[in-house]
Amino acid sequence: MKNFTILSALLFYSFGFSQSLYKSSIDSGGGVASNNNIKILFTIGEVNVQEFNTGNILVSEGFIGGEFVNIILAVDDLPELTGITVYPNPVVESIVIKGLTEESVINIYDIKGSTVFKQNKYTSGEALPINNLKSGIYLLKIVNPNGVGIRKIIKR
């Protein structure tokens, strides 16, 4: 009998004081996006937005965050530049890039990926003064209409 009383008390306690869940939402914004004849209504924080049916397309539910922004998801890869010579490497004062047929943009990045040098209009054979860079390993990126080239340089 004692076990039955304890079991009954536990069951009453667990069911008598259980939590309740209420369906609710906080609407903090939204909008409408359309393209040709397809229209999507969205809000942020809604449990169920609306159902929209056009032909065989059915859109329902919400919870899409943020605004619609044009985002580039992919770009065509530029071809790799070939026939380029970077010297001297290792470098102390300045480097020279030979073999470029177009004016180029030159960027030098440190090992963390930070830009430490940039020149927007470089022509083949010019000396790039990098004597202010600390000793270390850097990546040299060359970009022009013909493509992209990346070379490792060592600064002493």
Q: What pLDDT digit, counting tens, does each position of 39-69 carry?
A: 666 555 555 445 666 666 666 555 444 454 5
pLDDT of residue 79: 87
CA–CA distance from 23 to each of 16, 17, 49, 59, 129 (Å)? Answer: 21, 19, 14, 21, 66
Structural domains in the chain, sorted by start: 23-71 (no CATH), 85-155 (2.60.40.3080)
Q: Which residues of the chain have pLDDT under 70?
A: 1-31, 36-76
Please tell me the predicted confidence (pLDDT) of residue 76: 63
| pLDDT for res 34 | 72
Question: Which pLDDT does position 77 carry in this prediction?
Answer: 73
Q: What is the pLDDT of residue 22?
A: 47
Q: Can you give the pTM of this predicted structure?
A: 0.52
